[in-house]
Amino acid sequence: MAWSRKRMVLAALVGAVVAIVVTIVALNFVTSESEIEKSLEHRYGVQDPQFRRELGILLGPPIIDGNRVENFENGVEIFPAMLEAIRSARSTITFETYIYWSGDIGRRFADALSEQARRGVRVHVLIDWVGSQKMEEALLDRMVAAGVEVHRFHPLHWYHLTRMNNRTHRKLLVVDGRIGFTGGVGISDDWDGDAADPKHWRDSHYRLEGPAVAQMQAAFMDNWIKTTGKVLQGEAYFPALEPVGTALGQVFTSSPSGGGDSMQLMYLLSITAAEHTIDLSAAYFVPDALTRRALLAALERGVRLRIIVPGEYIDSQVTRRASRGDWGVLLRAGAKIHEFQPAMFHCKALIVDSQLVSVGSTNFDNRSFRLNDEANLNVYDPAFAAEIERVFEEDLARSRLVTYAAWARRPWHEKAVEKLSSIFASQM
C-alpha cells in the first residue's frame, strides 16, 4: 500500500509539472489583446492627408516634418557609419539590439562603446537575452568594467517564464539624442562585407536626423524602462531638435504588452491605401489570412505587387517552407515573388506608390506582428522613396522570379514539408 501511495503521489507531481509547463508554453504563444479581424477598405491613397492623419493617430506618435534619412547597404557601409556615430558621441548613447554575437564586429562595437564610456559619455545598452546567447561574457564584462550600463531583455528567470517568447527585435542606436539608426542588421560577422557570398547577409540600415529622432529615443526608452525601471531624462537624451531636411518621419513601436496590433495595422493601412505599386523586401514572408486578403484586394485594384524574399540561403528553412506553401493564391492573382540568390536576404522595407517607405526591424510575419517588440521608421519623401526603389531594383536583378507554374510543379515531398511547417506559421 505504501508503494502504491508513493506512485500516486509521484504521478500527481508529474501531472502538476506537465500542467505547469503546458500552461507556460501556451501563455508564451498568445497575446492578451484582441486581434484585427476585419479587412480594411480602400478609401484614399498614401498621399491623402487623411491617410497620414490616421497613421499618426492610430499608431501613436505624430508624423513630423524636417527630417533627413540616409540609406546604407550591407555591413561594409553600415558598420562604419554606426561606429563613426558612436565615436562622435559627446554626452549619451542608447543602443538596443536583438542579435549581439561574438566575433570581430562584436569586439569593435564593444571597444567603441567602452571607449566612450571611459571618456564620460553615458552609454546604455539593451540586448535581447535570446539574441545574445552567442555573445561571450568577456565582451559584456569589458563594457561593464568601462562603465557601460548593460542589461538583457527578458532573461531566464521564473518571473519571466510567461514572457520568454516575447523578445525585443528592435534595432535602435541613438547618439546624443540627435542621430538615430535603425534597420535590419545585428551585431555579428554574418552582416559584415557586401553580401557577395552566402556567408555574408544582405541587409539595409538607415541614419535619421531631425525631430523624429526624439521618437526613436522614446522607442528605446520604452523597453529600457520596462527592463530597468529607470527613466533617462534631460537635454542629453532629449535635446531640442531643429529641422535638418524635408522628409516627413514617424518612429513607432509595437509590443504584445501594449499596441500589439500597431505594426500589422500600419502594414494593412498602407497596403489598403496603395493605388499603383507595392514593393516589399521581406526576410521572412509569412502573411496571415487577413494580410493575404489585403494584398489580394490591392492586386484586384490593379496595384503592381513585387516581393523579394530569401532563396536557397536562409537561416530558417521552416519559415521558408511555411511561406512558400501559401504563395499560390498570390501568384495566381498576379503577384511577382522573387527569391534572392547570392546570400541570405535579411532586408525589411515596404515602398508604396513611390511615396511611403517603412523600414526597421519588422518582418512580414506573425512573430513580428504579435510576439516580438518591434520598431519601424515611416518616411514620406519621394526622393528617399526613389533611392529605396533603386536599391530594390538592384536586389531584383540578383533574384529569381518564381512563376505560378513552377510553384505548382514543386515535388510532393516539398508540399508535405510546407504543409507541416504551416502548423507553426502563427509563431513565425
> Which amino acid, 237?
Y
Q: Hey, what's the cell of 314?
A: 536562409
At 182, give phi and psi (nearest 5°): -155, 165
- Catalytically annotated residues: 169, 171, 176, 346, 348, 353
184 phi/psi in degrees, rounded to 5: -110, -10
| C-alpha to C-alpha distance for 342 and 229, rounded to whole angstroms | 44
Q: Are 209 and 244 in contact (CB under 8 A)?
A: yes
Residue 130 grid cell: 535570446
Sequence letter at residue 372? N
* The 3-state secondary structure of 54-115, one letter per residue: HHHHHCCCCCEEEEEEEEEEHHHHHHHHHHHHHHCCCCEEEEEECCECCCHHHHHHHHHHHH
Question: In terms of residues, how long is the chain?
Answer: 428
Contacts (Cβ under 8 Å, ≥6 apart) of 107 = 139
